């Protein structure tokens, strides 16, 4: 089955409610503004995953999404600029396994020179 995975990059951190675990977002010159997410997943530099202020595992994240209407949930991943790509993919896989299809990556806007 082919999953539709939509990546949006958020322009403003203030649009992404966080618990403060992630302090330095990556930057991008192609950020776009998206509606506020229904669920924010924070990924700390250590690889720890936080949802609604609670530290969870990838399996717990999947189960949390399965318990909700994940197909209608827009999920935004907020990660520190030093998070490894492998940790991002673990979170993306957990979100997709939970049924969500709208996934955004949060970033600060980098001025184009």
User: Global pTM?
Assistant: 0.68
2-30 burial code (b ≥16 CB/10 A, e <16):
eeeeeebbbbebeebebeebbeebeebee
Q: What is the mean pLDDT of the chain?
A: 74
In this prediction, residues 33-59 reach a mean pLDDT of 86
Q: Which of 113, 27, 97 is nearest to 62 (CA)?
A: 97
Q: Are strands 108-109 and 27-28 parallel, antiparallel or unpaired?
A: parallel
Cα 42 to chain centroid distance, Å, stands at 6
Question: Residue 79 CB: number of other CB atoms within 10 A?
Answer: 25
Residues 17-108, CATH architecture: 2-Layer Sandwich (3.30)
Does 110 or 69 have the greater pLDDT score?
69
What does the angle CA 82 – CA 74 – CA 78 come to, to the nearest 5 degrees? 15
pLDDT in tens, 54-78: 999 999 999 999 988 766 678 889 8
Helices (H), 6-111: 58-66, 85-97
Query: How confident is the model over 9-19, as pLDDT tens digits?
Result: 333 334 444 55
Q: Compute the average pLDDT of residues 80-84.
A: 86
pLDDT of residue 93: 95
What residues does each domain of the chain span?
17-108
């Amino acid at each position: 089955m082919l999953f539709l995975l939509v990546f949006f990059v958020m322009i403003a951190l203030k649009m992404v409610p966080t618990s403060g675990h992630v302090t330095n977002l990556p930057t991008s010159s192609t950020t776009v503004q998206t509606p506020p997410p229904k669920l924010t997943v924070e990924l700390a530099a250590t690889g720890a995953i936080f949802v609604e202020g609670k530290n969870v595992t990838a399996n717990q994240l999947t189960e949390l999404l399965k318990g909700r209407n994940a197909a209608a949930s827009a999920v935004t991943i907020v990660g520190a600029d030093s998070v490894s790509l492998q940790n991002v993919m673990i979170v993306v896989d957990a979100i997709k396994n939970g049924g969500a299809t709208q996934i955004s990556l949060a970033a600060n806007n980098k001025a184009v020179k």
